Amino acid sequence: MSTIITPAQERTSDLYTPTKADKFSFGLWTVGNRGRDPFGDAVRPTLTPVNIVKKLSELGAWGVNLHDNDLVPFEATPAERDRIVREFKQALNDYGMVVPMATTNLFFHPIFKDGAFTAVDPAVRAFALQKTMRAIDLGVELGATTYVFWGGREGVDAEASKDPLVAVKRMREAIDFLCQYVLDNGYNLRFALEPKPNEPRSDTYLPTVGHMLAFIYTLAHPEMVGLNPEVAHENMANLNFTHSVAQALEAGKLFHIDLNDQKGPRYDQDLRFGSENIKNHFFLVKLLEDSGYTGPRHFDAHAYRTEDEQGVWDFALGCMRTYNMFKEKARRFNADPEIQALLAEINGGDQTYGGLLGSGYSTETATRLKEALFDLDALARRGYHYEKLDQLSIEIILGTR
Ligand code: GCO
Ligand code: MN
Ligand code: MN
């Protein structure tokens, strides 16, 4: 049985204070976001990568992720690159932070205005591979074991501009090429593909977790490739994010996750984790925790544009505390005798067929099922008590249980 914690204890305890054991990570581009949007310029000064590492560590984060150019500017000379990387590694060491994931910026430079791996221009596709190989080297040098591929501008505005069959093939060629590059170099690195339905292009290829999962099994090395689903992206496609994550988990493909929040199927809002869809996030955290997911809990979100630097750290701490609050709520849900009794009853039903269904196909089972007599009236009459169960879930989430 769980210990009951009173609201007063809760306010004063450090129950929700993030620690490195929670495996929370942030991208340099998230807390480093300066509030620039299509309608307005930056509102906050630049935070240096070294400062970000220090501050995140003080707040209780465990890891920091990066695009190549979040750390090493696009125009840096090899000597500048080496100095920047040396100083960054020193900061990681000084503040006990790790780089669990790295990725490539294949969307900012004008070269990539028509995409990268799926661009129509072969020189752009070749440059994208060169940039990614160099960025993989950088990620591995910093200790990353997961490498993320977000499609960025891999899509179309003018449908006539690209053959969608060719686009999928080009995507496959690129990922296959880069898997082989990792193998050739003996790197300990897995790829995590991040789907997004649109933005910045009006349509992006491989738009959802389901599309990506199917694509992975067409690759030369499907064992090296998994998913990096993002809350906001599945919501932009109006899908149930928890179900998408569950399918990735069940397939052994949840390699990484981008946590944030979103108000409905609009543009990618990257809101503070758990700031909007409280019920959905409770079930998401419950799924991650109950499933034994051991990967990073990465926040791909940023502070409101209204905030100064203090607001950025309020935002970062908020993401982590809210995750831990949901984690505690999930523990209470699992330890609640009434909820568990109700779930047992709901899942009970007529056990005549329980064992039969779980043992797979046999001629005998098929014959027995074809001959079975069901009490259809009783099955049709059954009430499922889901109103009661859902209300109990709400009471957990709202803190009355
Ligand atoms: C977005 C994406 C990015 C990626 C990042 C890592 O909508 O801009 O979510 O933030 O996650 O590029 O690959
Ligand atoms: Mn993301
Ligand atoms: Mn996003």
- 221 and 140, same domain (yes or no): yes
- 319 and 196, same domain (yes or no): yes
The domain boundary residue, chosen from 287, 313, 332: 332
Average pLDDT of the residues in 139-145? 98
pLDDT of 1 over the 50 cut = no
DSSP for 37-74, written as a single string = BTTB---SPPPPHHHHHHHHHHHT--EEEEEHHHHS-T
- 256 and 362, same domain (yes or no): no
Category of 252 on φ-ψ map: left (φ > 0), alpha (ψ -120 to 50) or beta: left
In a domain, 5, yes or no: no
* Cβ contacts of 99 within 8 Å, gap of 6 or more: 63, 64, 65, 66, 92, 139, 142, 143, 144
Strand partners, 150: 194
pLDDT tens per residue across span 100-123: 999 999 999 999 999 999 999 999
Mean of the per-residue pLDDT values of the chain: 96
In a domain, 255, yes or no: yes
- 327 and 352, same domain (yes or no): no
- 104 and 211, same domain (yes or no): yes
Nearest ligand atom owner, CA of 151:
1
Q: Which pLDDT belongs to residue 356?
A: 82
Which residue CA neighbors atom 12 of ligand 1 most closely?
A: 150
Residue 37 among the catalytic residues: no
Q: Which pLDDT belongs to residue 352?
A: 81
Which residue CA neighbors atom 3 of ligand 1 most closely?
A: 150
Radius of gyration for the alpha carbons in the chain, expressed in angstroms and rounded: 24
- 112 and 167, same domain (yes or no): yes
Task: Among 47-51, 358-362, 388-392, name the one with the lowest average pLDDT.
Answer: 358-362
Count H helices, E strands: the chain? 17, 10
In a domain, 31, yes or no: yes
150 CB within 6 A, ligand 1: yes
Q: Where are the beta strands (DSSP E) in 84-168?
A: 101-103, 146-150, 155-156
| Percent of the chain predicted with pLDDT > 70 | 98
Q: At 4, is the pLDDT very low, low, confident or very high (cuts 50, 70, 90)? A: low
In a domain, 8, yes or no: no
In a domain, 9, yes or no: no
Residue 67 among the catalytic residues: yes
- 210 and 254, same domain (yes or no): yes
315 CB within 6 A, ligand 1: no
* Sign of the dihedral through C-alpha 312, 37, 41, 257: positive
- 211 and 266, same domain (yes or no): yes
pLDDT of 368 over the 90 cut = yes
Count CB neighbours of 73 within 10 A: 12
Q: Which pLDDT belongs to residue 256?
A: 99
Judge whether 251 and 243 are in contact, CB under 8 Å: no
- 257 and 379, same domain (yes or no): no
- Separation of 32 CA from ligand 3 center, angstroms? 15
- Residue whose CB lies within 8 A of the most ligand 1 atoms, among 104, 230, 270, for a mutation test: 230
336 CB within 6 A, ligand 1: no
pLDDT tens per residue across span 53-76: 999 999 999 999 999 999 999 999
- 233 and 311, same domain (yes or no): yes
Give the integer Cα–Cα distance in Å for 24 and 284.
15
- 320 and 183, same domain (yes or no): yes
Give the integer Cα–Cα distance in Å for 332 and 342.
15
Q: Where are the beta strands (DSSP E) in 101-195?
A: 101-103, 146-150, 155-156, 190-194
In a domain, 2, yes or no: no
What is the residue range of 355's domain? Answer: 337-397
- 369 and 318, same domain (yes or no): no
The angle formed by the CA atoms of residues 102, 178 and 237, to the nearest 5 degrees, is 65
CATH of the domain at 169: 3.20.20.150
In a domain, 59, yes or no: yes
| Percent of the chain predicted with pLDDT > 90 | 93
The domain boundary residue, chosen from 284, 311, 332: 332
Number of domains in the chain: 2
Q: At 14, is the pLDDT very low, low, confident or very high (cuts 50, 70, 90)? A: confident
234 CB within 6 A, ligand 1: no
Q: Which pLDDT belongs to residue 354?
A: 78
Judge whether 378 and 372 are in contact, CB under 8 Å: no
The domain boundary residue, chosen from 278, 297, 332: 332
Judge whether 295 and 255 are in contact, CB under 8 Å: yes
Q: Which pLDDT belongs to residue 12?
A: 65
In a domain, 253, yes or no: yes
